[in-house]
Structure 1
Amino acid sequence: MRLKSFKEKQLHTTSPHNVSRNKISSIPLVLFICMLTFICSPLTFAEEQKTDASAENTQKTANKVTPIKKPIELTQQYKEDLKHYLTDEQVKPLLAGPDDYLTLVKRYTSANGKGVVILLPEWQQGATNPKAINYLRNALPAKGWSTIAIQPSNKPENYPSTEITVAEQKKENQLVLKEYKSKLNSMLNAVMNTAREYPGIVLVIAQGNNAALLVDIYSQDDSQQPNALIMLSSYRQSNHALINGVNENFARQVASTELPILDLYLKHDNPLVLNKAAQRRAFSKQEMKVYYRQRQLNNTVTGYYPEEELLSQINSWLKAIGW
Structure 2
Amino acid sequence: MNTMQNALVAWLLFATLLQTTAIAQQAHSKQQLSSQDLQQQLLSEEVTELTTDKGSFLTLQRQALTSYTKGTAILVPDWHEHAASPDFINPLRQQMNEYGWHTLAVMPPDILLTEPSANEADYQQQLVQRLNAAIRQADSQANLIVIAKGSSAALLNQLFATEQLPAPAAFVMLGAYLADVKLNRELANHIASQSVPTLDISHQRDNRFVSANLQLRQQLVNRNLKTQYRQRQLTGTFYDADTHAWVLKEITGWLHSIGL
The TM-score range, normalised by the shorter chain, is 0.7 to 0.9
Range with bigger deviation, 85-94 or 301-310: 301-310
Range with bigger deviation, 217-226 or 138-147: 217-226
Partner AA of 2:174 in structure 1: L
Task: Give the deviation of 1:158 after TM superposition.
Answer: 2.1
Equivalenced residues, count: 238
Q: Structure 1 residue 211 and structure 2 residue 167: aligned?
A: no
Q: Secondary structure at the match of 1:306?
A: helix
Task: Give the deviation of 1:180 after TM superposition.
Answer: 1.8
CA distance in 2, matches of 1:260, 1:137: 20
CA distance in 1, matches of 2:54, 2:83: 21
Task: Give the deviation of 1:145 after TM superposition.
Answer: 0.4
CA distance in 2, matches of 1:255, 1:98: 31
Range with bigger deviation, 175-184 or 124-133: 175-184
1:142-291 alignment, distance < 5 Å:
142-160=98-116, 173=117, 175-197=118-140, 199-237=141-179, 243-291=180-228
Unaligned stretches of 5+ residues in structure 2: 1-17
Aligned CA distance change for structure 1 residues 190 and 302 (closer, same or farther; 3 Å): closer
Unaligned stretches of 5+ residues in structure 1: 1-66, 161-172, 238-242
Question: Do the aligned partners of 1:219 and 1:257 also contact (CA within 8 Å) in 2?
Answer: yes
Q: Structure 1 residue 84 and structure 2 residue 26: aligned?
A: no
Which residue pairs with 1:50 in the alignment?
none
Task: Give the deviation of 1:98 after TM superposition.
Answer: 3.0
Q: Structure 1 residue 316 and structure 2 residue 228: aligned?
A: no
Q: 1:99-144, CA deviations, whole angstroms, 9 ceiling, x for partnerless residues?
A: 2110000000111110000000001101111110000011111110
Aligned CA distance change for structure 1 residues 305 and 152 (closer, same or farther; 3 Å): farther
Match of 1:102 among 58, 61, 67: 58
CA distance in 1, matches of 2:186, 2:54: 31
Match of 1:292 among 204, 229, 240: 229
Range with bigger deviation, 70-79 or 186-195: 70-79
CA distance in 1, matches of 2:241, 2:232: 15
Task: Give the deviation of 1:301 after TM superposition.
Answer: 2.5
CA distance in 1, matches of 2:185, 2:56: 33
Task: Give the deviation of 1:223 after TM superposition.
Answer: 2.0
TM-score, length-normalised on structure 2? 0.85
Q: Secondary structure at the match of 2:155?
A: helix
CA distance in 2, matches of 1:135, 1:155: 25
Q: 1:223-282, CA deviations, whole angstroms, 9 ceiling, x for partnerless residues?
A: 222111100000012xxxxx2211111110100111111000002211221222222122
1:122-141 alignment, distance < 5 Å:
122-141=78-97
CA distance in 1, matches of 2:241, 2:100: 24
Aligned CA distance change for structure 1 residues 305 and 157 (closer, same or farther; 3 Å): farther
Aligned CA distance change for structure 1 residues 159 and 264 (closer, same or farther; 3 Å): farther
Partner AA of 1:98 in structure 2: K
Q: Structure 1: which 4+ aligned runs deviate by more than 4 Å?
A: 67-72, 302-305
CA distance in 2, matches of 1:126, 1:244: 26
Aligned CA distance change for structure 1 residues 214 and 293 (closer, same or farther; 3 Å): same
CA distance in 2, matches of 1:96, 1:141: 27
CA distance in 1, matches of 2:155, 2:194: 13
CA distance in 2, matches of 1:315, 1:93: 28
Question: Do the aligned partners of 1:269 and 1:303 also contact (CA within 8 Å) in 2?
Answer: no
Question: Do the aligned partners of 1:233 and 1:265 also contact (CA within 8 Å) in 2?
Answer: yes
Q: Secondary structure at the match of 1:89?
A: helix
Question: Do the aligned partners of 1:107 and 1:147 also contact (CA within 8 Å) in 2?
Answer: yes
TM-score, length-normalised on structure 1? 0.69
Task: Give the deviation of 1:302 after TM superposition.
Answer: 6.5
Percent of residue pairs bearing the same amino acid type: 30
Greater relative CO, 1 or 2 (CA 8 Å, sep 6+): 2
Aligned CA distance change for structure 1 residues 133 and 176 (closer, same or farther; 3 Å): same
Q: What is the root-mean-square deviation in Å for CA atoms of aligned residues?
A: 2.1
